[in-house]
């Protein structure tokens, strides 16, 4: 069925006016702020008025460690949302917004794929409703105000060698990673080392995604630590008096965006923090709003379950006071084979033993998810080359762990191909069998939190950290930040910190290179490996081929 | 009547749904792309379909040289639009969008004032419909692609000391004026001097405002000269292959924005190039669209008539193939007094002689406007302290030049206070008496074009330019750029290049410091004095007081 490209399918979508989609969730027209005819923001006033309502069921879609074969996590999130609607349940999906910059490097990420997509695809990969631009502006206003403060007398006595707040741009621009700014003489300030990250790496992005409302947003913005004084004490955004203006710049961006699936079901697409130095989930406001308006909310988390699901549980759920009723772990036969040692070019050949060997990675994720007290179902995202024997091998393996795997054909068939999973997930969610608990309590010492994740989720033997890092963690505990959760930044390709170590490794060590305090977002970032916060463009960037064709359609973006 | 602040009046506006405003111009709902309930873009398809229709009359609002007393050019543009509608004419206004960055320095510029304003005021001073963010993205994509080209082998042999294309940000950030980028080692590129301008100073902004359609936009983007090779030959945006992707980023931004006046009349607010290094007018697309849909279109140009009106005529009208049917020159009694030597603190005291002395500045502008073959009427924008004798002095002076001045009270009374001017302007525009011609022909040598403006508009005796500058102009002529108009960048406060020289000076010299080629926008920038392309923030930026109050309203922005 799906011989067409994603963009061809998306362009053939029979989109309904966004007011009609909002109507399915009971959102009146005046509470929808339209952006064109197929996108809208849900007004803050309407959201505030839903407070007393009961919450629907929350379903998290996560995945095995990503492989070059592709797992289809977003595709499954979209498909499951459509599937639930197909079987008569009132369901909405919640996913992240795409970053603009990377679209000009490699061909852009669609929102889902095949017959399980969210539209309008072009807009979502370009400016969308301007949220990321607002975040860029708010972030850079603070940057400008810091240098302006230094310029006009530096009353806070900021050590210009210790300004930790950088600037951001939603662009892949390696030339901006490390710069010296304020050159050119007295009128331009005091020269110092500085640099840019990509917007999705901004702490403002993480804050927008974790804040409950505008008041909470402004409070968190004020808490951001931007620099240190000559006496090493922290200088906050509030000290620089930028928090109010930043909140004003983010006022509209805080309102979640509503779009639709190819099957005209509601999809909230809002926020998109990095899944390494941040928590990698869509906004709390969108998820909570969806829970008030729909009976089932399907959402996803970044990367594999070791990073994404763990952060979803330990950061987002903990902070937002929400809990998943069921978890779907997406796997593919192809990915199992790659984990079992098969090369990408040989994936088309049946190899049941390789599938069996590769299943260990999946098994570990199932165990981990269950350790949060939440039932997990495996979704086998079907690919045309999968053989019956290979699919059976995955199902048998999952059954041997006391869980179940369901074959899903939503990519090719839309909701029709995923009704079995939808039925099963609805049943589990309705059963109330989930007994969610976070992995560690708030009051556990910070280093122990890191060890808990490393040992219980990554199955490492030890965490390696030098005295400087341990001292830093203790200092933050003394300063009142000990209650914060930790946000692990490591490779997404392995349970370990070695991206080439597939499967389900044990006995490894987790070396902590650096720790960072995101006092506004409310977590401690633990960096285990090289983390790139400003990507570069490839030798032949996709931008070179992006253009408007004679019909006014965008070419080369997908 | 108008005891309230601009923002209080704006917030009390009885706004109509934007579809109703579009309906007044015959724009069907499906051709309006809404941004919330009170803003919309007019679709490119609809605009293209209007091609065969006749144009309405075009009225330019310009002013005397600005003084600290404030003249109210935008206020008069808005008021005249409302006035024309009040007397039963179908009129629309066309003004520029506001830049975000400066709002965080000094209190923000409203769109008009008193009872002659465009709403929604907050949105227009913040992100509005995202046009400036799109321009920032397009500009910086090109910047990133240039450094990326150099990084991956520099096939074009770009001299990294001669990259003329900078980066932009819509922010007042002096620390970014001069930077060294690509530091930090091999992976980050080749270190070089670079810097940021504010977005409104981007050539992309000027291009968006002069392009006729998307095709023209892409062509102009491709023409931008971004650097020079080691052999001194120019490298264009097309050589870097960024033009297509930039056009894609600007696709939505090219569609003009429709909002409304306090009296619910249609207002196009689109584009906002600098009035010094660029031409300072709203977009050609908006003006041409308005001319197709309304019988009268009232628009404005940046700064005083010596800069703004001249560029409107010689750049915008020349390139767009449009012509004004009437010109309004805004003056105030207070500004005449300041030109007559009165200090700002003494403006409240009647001083008819000072008014008479200061009228010379106005007289010069009247003469200049008439030299383009267009009838000019003076609008005396009334201020409460003006005395009858002072107003009579202005009227008498203007009458002595064979022109007329009309007292306007739109600030306090809305359209009711400006019906006399509206009637007179409609009469003049309908009469067809305008015989528009540009000041100089395309084929005049570039230096002669500069001399023509300096002598005929500024009334200077001579243009001073060293051999290097004259040689540069000749080189551009040899390279095929001789047909371009020139875009003067000088102080707006005086006919001369000395900002303190008020009135109507003669016998002065115009020293040319630098010339720049804007090959995409299609003009030669002639810089006569210090031009700031990246402002800084003041010691106590207004951002410190900007916040959301307990009612969710923005405080401190106005």
Per residue in A69-120, pLDDT tens? 778 999 999 999 999 999 999 999 999 999 998 999 987 667 899 999 999 9
Give the H/E segment covering residue B83: helix B73-86
Q: Is B499 on the interface with A (CB under 8 A)?
A: no
**Residue with the two structure tokens 């005449």:** B336
The alpha-carbon gap from A304 to the nearest alpha carbon of chain B, in Å, equals 28
> Which residues pair with residue A484 across a beta bridge?
none
- Classify burial at B90, counting beta carbons within 10 Å of its beta carbon; exposed 0-12, middle 13-18, buried 19 or more: middle
Q: What mean pLDDT comes out for the span A459-473?
A: 97
Instruction: Please give the structure tokens belonging to residue B218.
Output: 């892409």
All residues at 6 or more sequence positions from B161 whose CB lies less than 8 Å from its CB, including other chains: B192, B193
ipTM of this complex prediction, to 2 decimal places? 0.97
All residues at 6 or more sequence positions from A504 whose CB lies less than 8 Å from its CB, including other chains: A360, A361, A363, A364, A459, A495
All residues at 6 or more sequence positions from A479 whose CB lies less than 8 Å from its CB, including other chains: none
Chain centre distance of CA B197: 17
Would you call B303 a catalytic residue per the annotation?
yes
Instruction: Please give the structure tokens belonging to residue A235.
Output: 């200088």
List CB contacts (< 8 A) between B40 and chain A.
none
Instruction: Please give the structure tokens belonging to residue B82.
Output: 């409302």
Instruction: For residue B217, give the chain A residue with the closest CA.
Output: A548
Q: Is A186 on the interface with B (CB under 8 A)?
A: no
pLDDT at B531: 87
pLDDT at B108: 67
pLDDT at A377: 98
The alpha-carbon gap from B322 to the nearest alpha carbon of chain A, in Å, equals 26
pLDDT at B71: 85
pLDDT at A69: 75
Instruction: Name the pairing type of β-strands B234-236 and B167-169.
Output: unpaired
Q: CA A435 to CA A456: how far, in whole Å?
A: 18
Q: CA B420 to CA B416: how far, in whole Å?
A: 9
Nearest CB to B179 within list A179, A218, A536 = A179
Answer whether A347's CB lies under 8 Å from A69's CB.
yes
Instruction: Please give the structure tokens belonging to residue A437.
Output: 């608990």
B window 145-164, beta carbon within 8 A of A = 145, 147-148, 151-153
* pLDDT tens, residue by residue, A285-324: 999 999 999 999 999 998 999 999 999 999 999 999 999 9
Q: CA A495 to CA A501: how far, in whole Å?
A: 8
pLDDT at A2: 45
C-beta atoms of A34 and B30 within 8 A: no
Order the strands of the A158-163 sheet from edge to edge: A158-163, A225-229, A234-236
The alpha-carbon gap from A188 to the nearest alpha carbon of chain B, in Å, equals 5
Q: CA B372 to CA B452: how far, in whole Å?
A: 13
Answer whether A336's CB lies under 8 Å from A61's CB.
no
Q: CA B3 to CA B23: how far, in whole Å?
A: 33
Angle at B235 (CA atoms; ends B234, B240), nearest 5 degrees: 170
A window 502-541, beta carbon within 8 A of B = 536-537, 539, 541
Q: CA A116 to CA A73: how far, in whole Å?
A: 11
All residues at 6 or more sequence positions from A365 whose CB lies less than 8 Å from its CB, including other chains: A62, A63, A64, A65, A304, A305, A306, A309, A329
List CB contacts (< 8 A) between B170 and chain A.
137
Structure-derived torsion over alpha carbons of residues B2, B7, B13, B19, reported in degrees to the nearest 10: 140
Q: What mean pLDDT comes out for the span A216-241?
A: 97
Answer whether B95's CB lies under 8 Å from B111's CB.
yes
Q: Is A191 on the interface with B (CB under 8 A)?
A: no
Give the H/E segment covering residue B118: strand B116-119
Answer whether B315's CB lies under 8 Å from B284's CB.
no
Q: What mean pLDDT comes out for the span A333-340?
A: 92
> Which residues pair with residue B197 across a beta bridge?
B168
Work out the percent of chain A whose per-residue pLDDT is above 70: 99
Would you call B447 a catalytic residue per the annotation?
no
Q: CA B226 to CA B241: how far, in whole Å?
A: 12
- Classify burial at A471, counting beta carbons within 10 Å of its beta carbon; exposed 0-12, middle 13-18, buried 19 or more: exposed
**Residue with the two structure tokens 């491709």:** B222
pLDDT at B5: 87
Q: What mean pLDDT comes out for the span A414-441?
A: 97
Q: Give the residue among A248, A210, A197 at the shortest CA–CA distance from A521.
A: A210
Q: Give the residue among B475, B489, B459 at the shortest CA–CA distance from B315.
A: B489
**Ligand-binding site membership of A74 (annotated):** yes
**Orientation of helix A214-223 relative to helix A203-210, angle to 10°:** 150
How many C-beta neighbours within 10 Å does residue A234 have?
Answer: 17
All residues at 6 or more sequence positions from A514 whose CB lies less than 8 Å from its CB, including other chains: A469, A527
Judged against a pLDDT cut of 50, whether residue A230 lies above it is answered with yes
Answer whether B127's CB lies under 8 Å from A252's CB.
yes
pLDDT at A540: 96
Angle at B259 (CA atoms; ends B258, B262), nearest 5 degrees: 150
Catalytic residues of A: 73, 75, 96, 107, 275, 303, 383, 411
List CB contacts (< 8 A) between B548 and chain A.
214, 218, 244, 247-248, 251
Q: CA B144 to CA A377: how far, in whole Å?
A: 44
Q: CA B463 to CA A552: how far, in whole Å?
A: 46
pLDDT at B558: 80
Answer whether B67's CB lies under 8 Å from B338's CB.
yes
- H-assigned helices in A56-189: 73-86, 121-125, 131-151
C-beta atoms of B547 and A241 within 8 A: no
Nearest CB to A172 within list B33, B144, B251 = B144
List CB contacts (< 8 A) between B248 and chain A.
126, 546-548, 554, 557
The alpha-carbon gap from B508 to the nearest alpha carbon of chain A, in Å, equals 30
pLDDT at B379: 98
Which is the catalytic residue, given B303, B312, B372, B447?
A: B303
Q: What mean pLDDT comes out for the span A468-477?
A: 96
Instruction: Please give the structure tokens belonging to residue A452.
Output: 């808990």
Q: Is A451 on the interface with B (CB under 8 A)?
A: no
Which residues of chain B are modeled with pLDDT < 50?
1-2
Answer whether B90's CB lies under 8 Å from B291's CB.
no
C-beta atoms of A141 and B543 within 8 A: yes
Q: Which residues of A180-209 are buried (b: 16+ CB within 10 A; e: fewer)?
A: bbbbbeeebbebbebbbbbbbbbbbbbbbb
Q: Give the residue among A149, A164, A356 at the shortest CA–CA distance from A242.
A: A149
Nearest CB to B546 within list A248, A536, A547 = A248
In this prediction, residue A1 has a pLDDT band, given cuts at 50, 70 and 90, of very low
Q: What mean pLDDT comes out for the span A213-240?
A: 97
pLDDT at A4: 86
pLDDT at B546: 95
Q: CA B221 to CA B218: how far, in whole Å?
A: 5
Instruction: Name the pairing type of β-strands B514-518 and A192-194.
Output: unpaired
């Amino acid at each position: 069925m799906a011989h067409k490209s994603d963009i061809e399918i998306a362009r053939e979508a029979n989109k309904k006016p966004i007011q009609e989609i909002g109507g399915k969730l009971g959102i009146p027209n005046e509470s929808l702020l339209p952006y064109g005819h197929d996108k809208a923001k849900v007004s803050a006033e309407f959201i505030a008025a839903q407070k007393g309502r009961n919450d629907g069921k929350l379903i998290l879609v996560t995945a095995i460690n990503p492989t070059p074969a592709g797992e289809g996590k977003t595709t499954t999130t979209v498909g499951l949302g459509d599937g639930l609607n197909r079987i008569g349940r009132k369901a909405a999906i919640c996913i992240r917004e795409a970053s603009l910059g990377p679209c000009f490097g490699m061909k852009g990420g669609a929102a889902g794929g095949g017959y399980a997509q969210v539209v309008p695809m072009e807009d979502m990969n370009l400016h969308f409703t301007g949220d990321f631009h607002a975040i860029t502006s708010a972030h850079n206003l603070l940057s400008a105000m810091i240098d302006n403060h230094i310029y006009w007398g530096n009353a806070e006595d900021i050590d210009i060698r210790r300004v930790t707040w950088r600037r951001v741009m939603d662009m892949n621009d390696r030339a901006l990673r490390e710069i010296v700014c304020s050159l050119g003489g007295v009128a331009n300030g005091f020269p110092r080392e500085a640099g840019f990250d990509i917007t999705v790496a901004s702490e403002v992005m993480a804050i927008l995604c974790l804040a409950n409302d505008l008041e909470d947003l402004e409070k968190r913005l004020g808490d951001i630590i931007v620099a240190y004084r000559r006496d090493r004490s922290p200088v906050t955004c509030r000290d620089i008096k930028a928090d109010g203006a930043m909140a004003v710049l983010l006022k509209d961006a805080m309102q979640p965006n509503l779009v639709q699936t190819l099957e005209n079901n509601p999809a909230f697409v809002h926020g998109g923090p990095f899944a390494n130095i941040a928590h990698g989930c869509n906004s709390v406001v969108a998820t909570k709003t969806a829970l008030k308006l729909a009976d089932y909310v399907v959402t996803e988390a970044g990367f594999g379950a070791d990073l994404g699901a763990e952060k979803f549980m330990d950061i987002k759920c903990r902070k937002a006071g929400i809990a998943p009723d069921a978890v779907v772990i997406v796997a593919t036969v192809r990915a199992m084979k790659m984990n079992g040692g098969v090369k990408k070019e040989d994936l088309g050949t049946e190899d049941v033993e390789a599938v069996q060997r590769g299943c260990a990675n999946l098994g570990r994720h199932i165990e981990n998810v269950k350790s949060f007290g939440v039932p997990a179902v495996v979704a086998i995202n079907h690919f045309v080359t999968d053989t019956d024997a290979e699919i059976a091998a995955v199902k048998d393996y999952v059954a041997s762990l006391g869980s179940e795997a369901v074959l899903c054909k939503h990519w090719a068939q839309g909701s029709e191909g995923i009704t079995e999973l939808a039925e099963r997930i609805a049943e589990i969610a309705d059963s109330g069998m989930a007994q969610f608990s976070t992995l560690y309590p708030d009051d556990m010492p910070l280093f122990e939190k890191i060890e808990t994740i490393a040992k219980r989720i990554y199955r490492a033997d030890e965490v390696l950290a030098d005295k400087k890092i341990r001292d830093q963690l203790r200092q933050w505990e003394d300063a009142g930040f000990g209650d914060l959760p930790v946000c692990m930044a490591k490779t997404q390709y392995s349970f370990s910190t070695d991206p080439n170590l597939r499967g389900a490794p044990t006995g490894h060590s987790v070396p902590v290179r650096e720790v960072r305090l995101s006092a506004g977002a409310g977590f401690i970032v633990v960096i285990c490996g090289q983390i790139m916060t400003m990507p570069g463009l490839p030798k032949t960037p996709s931008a070179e081929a992006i253009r408007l064709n004679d019909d006014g359609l965008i070419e080369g973006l997908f």
